[in-house]
Amino acid sequence: MTDPSEPSASSSVSASPSPTVLHSVRAGPVRLACRVTGPAHAPQDGPPLVLLHALGEDSRDWAGVTPALAATRRVHALDLRGHGASDRPGSYALEAVRDDVLAYLDAAGLDRIDLVGHSMGGVVACLLAAHRPHRVRRLVLEDVPLLRPRAPRP
């Protein structure tokens, strides 16, 4: 049974300027779910915005701010691997999650984005921006833990 409060591919969020559509995209070795909201052809001043949630959350975590953010741009709120409606593979290494997001960007045709990450999503956003800086136009981090370099493991 589906949750009636949950947006589906054919339902829209009433407060949103345009429908929120739940997509499922093969992103490398995993299938990621993503809620996409906003105009199909965003104006030049509104590049795509990608939202990455915290550990234990999912793309619904952004529902309160998505309508305002989607007024002038397409907003892609991902369910990271192991969260929400995305696949639950064996590995949850943050570099693997970063690679999932990069694969999603490629599959969705998103070359250069504004990127927002909350907590664990912020760590993933940092890893992505450091690994592929030309893909990130702006980076916003919310409540991100301190990142410390780790010594290589033997």
How do the domains of the chain map onto residue ranges? Answer: 20-142
pLDDT tens track for 17-44: 578 899 899 988 899 999 999 987 656 5
pLDDT tens track for 83-142: 999 999 989 999 999 999 999 999 999 999 999 999 999 999 999 999 999 999 999 999
Angle between helix 94-108 and 120-131 (nearest 10)? 70
Closest residue by Cα to residue 42 from 133, 100, 93, 109: 109
Domain 20-142: CATH class, spelled out: alpha beta
Residue spans of beta strands (DSSP E) within 11-53:
20-27, 30-37, 49-52
pTM of the model: 0.82
Q: Are 92 and 81 in contact (CB under 8 A)?
A: yes
